[in-house]
Chain A
Amino acid sequence: MAQTWLIIVLAGLLTYAVRLSFIALHGRWQPPALFQRALRYVPPAVLSAIILPEMLLLDGQMLFSPLNPRLLAGIIAILVAWRSRSTLLTILTGMLALYALQALLG
């Protein structure tokens, strides 16, 4: 449990440092242009790296099957997100699709 607290404090400090970084350093230090361009790809890269394995995982195993409910529900959610740009609608449709597919394919 001590480890959990260590994680919370360290991750919290690092997160705060990231948020404060440019605000505090403005006018004093300019990060290299390459670094600033690289930052733009952090959200799509990190989030996709989390999403894809989550969609392919079933009972802790990778399942490359068209009958995987998580994969199909995820694809439906991606289409909804693309069209609607709504967080709430994406989550709701995705969960409903998952329940329906689990009932159908389960």
Chain B
Amino acid sequence: MAVSESNREAPPRSGGDNRAAQLLDGVRDTLPLLVGIVPFGMIYGVLAVKAGIPPAAAQAMSAILFAGSSQFMIVQLVGAGTPWLVVVATAFIVNLRHALYSASLAPHLRRLPAAWKGLLAYVLVDEAYAIGITRYEHGGAPGGRHYYLLAAGLAVWVCWQTSTALGIFLGAQIPASWSLDFTLALTFIALVVPALRNRPAALAAAAAGLTAVAAHELPYKFGLILAALAGIGVGLWSERQWRKPG
């Protein structure tokens, strides 16, 4: 306690010192989240190889997309022989939620040079955002917070690439009877269920889920895009209903 008090009183530390502290803090605060990323990355690697994606492409997807849930979707769709345009559109829809992160961080990053903005956008995944926004909105050491966000993003990045590589390496040795593909649904349940604490979000989820089931026989997973639109529509509609008096 005494240490942090004296820190707050002290004038901002000079550049280099502060940067190192922010980088270290960022990595340290991200470490607990990496526990969840390792199995996710490994399973992605395993499933990619099983879907017939060459190891180099599977690893490149982790480096270029750097977006776990959409990578799972792509693997599933490519494995089912889906046309490329539909796969790209589906991945886009799945990753559209990152626009929320971008919008929420934008005011904090407005003074940074363009190169920094470009770099931070690349590492803006769910976990890095969750860690980074906490430091911006709920304090922590001031000054050079973009180094903190960068460190969180890079920690996730290194972890994602390594666990993916491990999964690709193990891929062929894991039997299909392990039902590892079910971890995709489980991971998404863990992501979405705790966020359903208001009525419009819960209704949006229900509408989308039911539409997806009803439309599952549409070719090329068009049902997914239809379901996403239905969910968004119901969410907006029920939000309006909710505000009506009486």
* Physical interaction between A and B: yes
A positions within 8 Å CB-CB of B: 1, 3-12, 14-16, 18-27, 34, 36-56, 62, 70, 73-74, 77-78, 81-82, 85-88, 90-91, 94-95, 98-99, 102
CA distance A23 to B107 in the complex (A): 8
Q: Given contacts A8-B60, A48-B212, is CB(A36)–CB(B204) below 8 Å?
A: no
Q: Could you pull out 25 A-B pairs where Cβ atoms are within 8 angstroms?
A: A8-B60, A11-B91, A18-B92, A19-B102, A23-B105, A26-B107, A38-B235, A39-B97, A40-B235, A41-B200, A43-B97, A44-B208, A47-B191, A47-B205, A48-B192, A50-B185, A52-B212, A52-B213, A74-B186, A74-B189, A77-B186, A81-B190, A82-B194, A91-B190, A94-B185
Determine if A16 and B122 form an interchain contact, defined as CB atoms under 8 angstroms apart.
Answer: yes
Q: Pick from B53, B74, B124, B232: contact of A41, CB below 8 A.
A: B232
Shortest distance from the beta carbon of A69 to any chain B beta carbon, whole Å:
9
- The verdict on A7 contacting B205 (CB below 8 Å), with A23-B105, A44-B195 known, is no
Name B230's closest neighbour in chain A (CB-CB).
Answer: A45
How close is B172's CB to chain A, nearest CB, in angstroms?
Answer: 18
Minimum-distance CB pairs A-B, first 7: A45-B231, A41-B235, A49-B227, A52-B209, A12-B64, A90-B190, A54-B185
In contact, B122 and A19 (Cβ under 8 angstroms): yes
Count of A-B contacts judged by CB separation below 8 Å:
257
Residue of A nearest to B225 (CB): A49
**Chain B contact residues: over half helix, strand or loop, or mixed?**
helix
Binds A, one of B5-13, B16-24, B154-162, B176-184: B176-184
CB <8 Å contact, B227 and A11: no
Question: In the complex where A23-B105, A44-B204, A49-B211 touch, is A88 in contact with B36 (Cβ < 8 A)?
Answer: yes
Q: How far is the CB of A33 from chain B (nearest CB, A)?
A: 11
Q: Which of A20, A43, A98 contacts B102 (CB 8 A)?
A: A20
Inter-chain contacts of A43 with B (CB < 8 A): 97, 100, 191-192, 195
Most buried by B among A5, A19, A46, A94: A46
Q: B95 contacts which chain A residues (CB < 8 A)? A: 11, 14-15, 18
Residues of A within 8 A of B228 (CB): 42, 45-46, 49
Report whether over half of chain A's contact residues are helix, strand or loop; otherwise say mixed.
Answer: helix
